[in-house]
């Protein structure tokens, strides 16, 4: 089973040591032969150079790479310049997002939502970029309702996105429902499932709180019962996430996008069980 759309996400390292570690991680993950790697972009442009440097390095290693681009806090001019830089490096893929500024910063900038960014990218660069956008099977935490969030998702596709990657989730049914509803609303682009391996329970709880991903009660209870026993957490996480990936692929998910957190082991272990 080798899904057509198998991709892996990194964040740009902040130190030389982190950069070196990511090279080692990447060499391991390259053996899985993903379709592309993606590299996140700090809202407000905080990682602009790091994102570009990482993408350029990955491309030199012979892999396709997609920088993320978040528009919050940006101006038309600043985004135009970033797009030109990506074009100058012959980068043809982008993950286009609104982003979240830290609380206290307000929204600022000339873009309010990701659909405006997608529209701008298309108006500035035509079909140069393959554009991926974010999707939320369990609803974006700031949305008014799931229906409203779905309409906002549809808006991004209508603005010219080619595909979507979901926020991570551990309820496969939420994904299938979302895809069905999106298709009923006229969306016919691939909606790739975002997968977060489970390796560390406190980190997972913290992330999930922020991004609105639900950890099912039984998974939470099991994780809590392992306390500091990291080996048991990883073994349990591997079983739960692999089984969900199997279900997703069997149910028609067009691909998987792994949030690797710059670690190779968990993604590799899941992948090796799937193939
Ligand atoms: P939007 O699609 O703009 O949606 C944001 C909210 O506004 C939603 O509640 C939506 O319902 C509502 N909304 C959307 N459009 C409209 C409209 N026209 N009118 C009224 N309401 C509207 N963040 C980063 O900073 N950097 C990254 O690299 C990054 N990578 C990510 C990758 C993936 C695959 C995912 C799923 C998320 C990523 N994020 C990243 C997080 C993302 O930026 C946040 O989830 C952010 O809060 C929303 O971004 P969005 O692009 O989904 O926003």
The pLDDT tens digits for 59-102 are: 999 999 999 999 999 999 999 999 999 999 999 999 999 998 77
Strands in the chain per DSSP E:
5-10, 36-39, 65-70, 93-97, 130-135, 163-166, 191-195, 255-259
Residue 104 confidence (pLDDT):
61
The pLDDT tens digits for 26-64 are: 999 999 999 999 999 998 778 899 999 999 999 999 999
Q: Is the shortest distance between the CB of 181 and ligand 1 below 6 Å? A: no
Tell me what percent of the residues of the chain surpass a pLDDT of 90.
Answer: 90
Does the pTM surpass 0.85? The reply is yes
Q: Is the shortest distance between the CB of 234 and ligand 1 below 6 Å? A: no
Active site residues: 9
In 3D, which of 82, 96, 112, 83 has the Cα closest to residue 40?
96
Overall average pLDDT of the 111-124 stretch? 97
Domains, the chain, in order of start with CATH, read 3-274 (3.20.20.220)
Among 99, 143, 146, 174, say which to mutate for ligand 1: greatest number of ligand atoms within 8 Å of CB: 99
Assess whether pLDDT exceeds 80 at residue 184. Answer: yes
Contacts 24+ apart (CB under 8 A), 85-90: 85/52, 86/52, 86/129, 87/125, 87/128, 89/52, 89/55, 89/56, 89/59
Ligand 1 atom having least distance to the Cα of 39? 28
Among 114, 117, 134, say which to mutate for ligand 1: greatest number of ligand atoms within 8 Å of CB: 134
Overall average pLDDT of the 235-246 stretch? 98
Contacts 24+ apart (CB under 8 A), 216-225: 216/170, 216/171, 219/170, 223/198
């Amino acid at each position: 089973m080798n899904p057509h759309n198998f991709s892996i996400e990194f964040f740009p390292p902040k130190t030389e040591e982190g950069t070196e570690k990511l090279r080692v991680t990447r060499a391991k993950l390259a053996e899985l032969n993903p379709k592309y790697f993606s590299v996140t972009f700090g809202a407000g442009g905080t990682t602009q150079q790091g994102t570009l440097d990482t993408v350029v390095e990955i491309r030199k290693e012979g892999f396709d790479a997609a920088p993320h681009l978040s528009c919050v806090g940006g101006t038309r001019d600043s985004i135009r310049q970033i797009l030109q830089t990506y074009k100058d490096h012959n980068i043809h893929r982008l993950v286009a997002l609104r982003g979240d500024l830290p609380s206290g910063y307000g929204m600022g900038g000339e873009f309010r939502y990701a659909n405006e960014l997608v529209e701008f990218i298309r108006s500035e660069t035509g079909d140069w970029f393959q554009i991926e956008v974010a999707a939320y099977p369990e609803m974006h935490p700031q949305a008014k309702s799931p229906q409203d969030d779905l309409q906002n998702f549809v808006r991004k596709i209508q603005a010219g996105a080619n595909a979507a990657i979901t926020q991570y989730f551990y309820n496969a049914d939420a994904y299938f429902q979302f895809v069905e509803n999106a298709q009923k609303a006229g969306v016919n682009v691939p909606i790739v499932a975002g997968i977060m391996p489970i390796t560390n329970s406190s980190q997972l709880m913290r992330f999930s709180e922020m991004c609105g991903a639900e950890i099912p009660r039984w998974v939470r209870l099991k994780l809590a019962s392992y306390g500091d026993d990291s080996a048991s957490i990883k073994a349990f996480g591997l079983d739960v996430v692999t089984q969900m990936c199997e279900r997703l692929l069997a149910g028609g998910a067009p691909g998987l996008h792994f949030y690797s957190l710059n670690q190779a082991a968990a993604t590799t272990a899941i992948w090796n069980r799937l193939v």
